[in-house]
Structure 1
Amino acid sequence: MTSLPQASAEALATSQALSQHIAAEIAAADGWIPFSRYMELALYAPGLGYYAAGSAKLGAAGDFTTAPEMSTLFGATLARQIAELLPQTAGVIYEFGAGTGKLAADILQKLEQLDALPARYVIIDLSADLIERQQTLLRERLPHLLDKVTWLSTLPDTLDGIVIGNEVLDAMPCEMLLHDGRHISQRGVSLEDGRFVLTERALQDTTLTELAQSLIPAIAGYGSEISLTNRAFIRTLAERLTRGALLFIDYGFPAHEYYHPQRHMGTLIGHYRHHTLTDPFYLPGLMDLTCHVDFTAIAETGLAAGLDLIGYTSQAQFLLNAGITDELALLDPEDVRHYVPQSAAVQKLCSPAEMGELFKVIGFGRGISIDWIGLIQGDRCHTL
């Protein structure tokens, strides 16, 4: 860990305060909390968690880079898909976890060019710090469209429009499971000599037990994750979606790949200053924690809730279908300073060796057309 960038004294103080907060909750719960609860606190504890405190998270100064931070063409290409679907709804876009606000700005800018602006653009975010950054960015880039954007911290009772989420599902708390060759245990967090450690307890939740028994390979030492939060989130969206679409982009696999016998270490990882870490307890509150998405679970949950599964494909296929190369062609190749980095970003977004294959796109609909430009070719629903 000595080679990792040093945190400031202020950041370390925040991390220590969060650690004390989590330790107090562990003590109040007889010395053990599920890992999902630890992850929830590490990411979202008010004023202290990773997404609730004021550290830079995205871009060169942050801990990781997302597609919207890499290229404006990502948002412009999503806007092409949204423009096709938006008129079939009440004209509202709902974005979850909007990061710096760059994706919202890029989408709105392109929709304005297409003469297809939404009636409203609703950002649903739990981070007061990120909301402030989003407002600042949109005020600087699109001041004339700021009145179309509203911010909410809770989900509306009904949704009629296009719901989008880029790298949202992976940031939701997950349960950690461990098979010892005979039984599956639930992993949680305890304290030993003042330090957080992973410890196991017998499964008690019926739903989690059934899922674990159906998904976790009976291999001694096999560890993996199951996200009940993801499933609940999709169910809630389905319950409230009266008409429209759900479009999620994230990294993950179908279940048969996710729970492959060789993936015995699971998928949980931490991101700290562009370093990937496997220790979930490194500087709580200063490190992002993520878990890859089980897209089979997402698809099954949406279908069970009465949504139409429109399609599932790789990020590369979706972006190429929706016209990212057309967006690149709109740029001036003579403007080398702008064109070259944008071209390189498109390569990274679409390359199978980069983000193009690991990231997937899944789309659901209700009461709208099932023909989406982004999912017109290369559908992989048969692999779920």
Structure 2
Amino acid sequence: MSLYTTFPSPGESALAHSHSVLTMIREQILASGEWISFEQYMNLALYAPGLGYYSSGATKFGSAGDFVTAPEISSLFGRTLALQLLQISQHLKHTDILEVGAGSGKLALDILTELERTAELPEKYLILEVSAELRQRQQTLLASRIPHLMQRVEWLEQLPDQFSGIILANEVLDAMPVHLVAWHDDAIFERGVTWHNNQFSWQDRSIQDTDLYEITNQMTPQINPDNHSNFEYVSEFSLSATGFIRSLASILHQGVILLIDYGFGCNEYYHPQRSQGTLMCHYRHHAHDNPFYLPGLQDITSHVDFSAITRAASDSGLTLLGYTTQAFFLINSGITKILAQTSATDTARYLPQSNQLQKLVNPAEMGELFKVIAFGKKFTEPLIGFNTGDMSRLL
């Protein structure tokens, strides 16, 4: 039985949409000499205007979508994050917050609600959102829940020329297009996409991108001796993510960049047992590894190489302020104190929140795979989120 027979069936309109995305990508392949890089494929499947996964109207987040993010699981996440933002803002002249890729808007809602409760609202809460459809969802949610704070919220279509304050991105880096690189036959290749036998197909070619060539030639995959006779190693490199960090560094005059995502340091990222990389797709809460399945209807992600992110940040003049698991970060920042604001005797409210907390911090759930990393410019204060459990040595 095929794995996909267990997946929920898309409706006719969804299938028609996916066919339009497939046709668009196929035409791009044919126009590009019968081959495009996987980075191009992923960019088209996720971000092509009006067609890509993040540009179309289907629900992405929560139980009705394809995956669940921490803000969707519980308001405890955003409220706890607000406590860390509050500590940072006490050492800054400008308290503006810039959230990149705000998803459904739930994280912004919870942060602003908690900061209002502490009487420490930012002057401006800026949201950079490239998807017009998600931007509309965010505006609808915030206008319905905190209409009195809407004068503080502003949407951007590109990064400002200069910014001072706090830059925040939750599960943004993992959705940035990646290059796939394959080591085999004593050589290095870029894995791309062709159109063959009326379907998408993999094909390896020599690396043409200069930056990608330089990066990949500086590393040698760790070979599993058990598979040495049939050695192939495939992994991802995100030039988009490191470029994004450099862009943030270039606009930040003073402040802190706080990034939350799933991933590893380079030694774990390029481990022998991870010889097929970390590429993952999500469709209606089913995870699988086929990016060619229903293009435009599923999310495509890869784990984050936090060592590469740190090198790009350091080269751009940023200082590493901390790196730890989501569990340590939330506990250090005070998530249990926020939970304690609800009386344990009020079981109807307390028990659901307690269960949500476990999902956020349990190592078997999100607690260990998800990491939090912070960089500063003209900012050296220790952050409460990294009081214990700092793992900077693993970068």
Q: TM-score of the superposition, structure 1-length normalised?
A: 0.98
Partners of 1:189 and 1:196 within 8 A in 2:
yes
Offset of 1:206 from its aligned partner? 2.5
- Partner of 2:228 in structure 1? none
Offset of 1:291 from its aligned partner? 0.5
- Partner of 1:10 in structure 2? 13
- Partner of 1:43 in structure 2? 46
**Which of these residues, 330, 338, 358, is aligned with residue 349 of structure 2?**
338
Which whole-Å CA distance do the structure 2 matches of 1:233 and 1:41 have between them? 18
Offset of 1:203 from its aligned partner? 1.1
Offset of 1:349 from its aligned partner? 0.7
- Partner of 1:212 in structure 2? 216
Q: Please list, as runs of the form range in 1=range in 2, the aligned pairs for 1:56-67 lying within 5 A after superposition.
A: 56-67=59-70
- Partner of 1:111 in structure 2? 115
Q: Please list, as runs of the form range in 1=range in 2, the aligned pairs for 1:1-384 lying within 5 A after superposition.
A: 1-87=4-90, 88-217=92-221, 219=223, 220-384=231-395
Q: 1:312 to 1:28 in 2, by over 3 A?
A: same
Greater shift, 361-370 or 66-75, is seen at 361-370
The residue type paired with residue 370 of structure 2 is F
Q: 1:216 to 1:194 in 2, by over 3 A?
A: farther
Task: State the Cα deviation string for residues 74-119 of structure 1 (Å, max 9, x = none).
Answer: 0000000101112404221000110110000000000001111000
Which whole-Å CA distance do the structure 2 matches of 1:181 and 1:211 have between them? 19
Offset of 1:334 from its aligned partner? 2.8
SS at 1:164 equivalent: strand
Which whole-Å CA distance do the structure 1 matches of 2:332 and 2:118 have between them? 18
Offset of 1:339 from its aligned partner? 1.6
Task: State the Cα deviation string for residues 228-261 of structure 1 (Å, max 9, x = none).
Answer: 1111000010011001110000000000000011
Partners of 1:252 and 1:294 within 8 A in 2:
yes
Partners of 1:54 and 1:129 within 8 A in 2:
yes
Which whole-Å CA distance do the structure 2 matches of 1:357 and 1:309 have between them? 20
SS at 2:5 equivalent: coil
Offset of 1:353 from its aligned partner? 1.4
5+ residue gaps, structure 2: 224-230
Which whole-Å CA distance do the structure 2 matches of 1:205 and 1:25 have between them? 18
5+ residue gaps, structure 1: none
Over the aligned positions, Cα root-mean-square deviation in angstroms equals: 1.1
Task: State the Cα deviation string for residues 102-143 of structure 1 (Å, max 9, x = none).
Answer: 000000000001111000000101111111111111111111
Partners of 2:222 and 2:270 within 8 A in 1:
no
Which whole-Å CA distance do the structure 2 matches of 1:363 and 1:283 have between them? 36
SS at 1:122 equivalent: strand
Partners of 2:222 and 2:271 within 8 A in 1:
no
Which whole-Å CA distance do the structure 1 matches of 2:157 and 2:62 have between them? 24
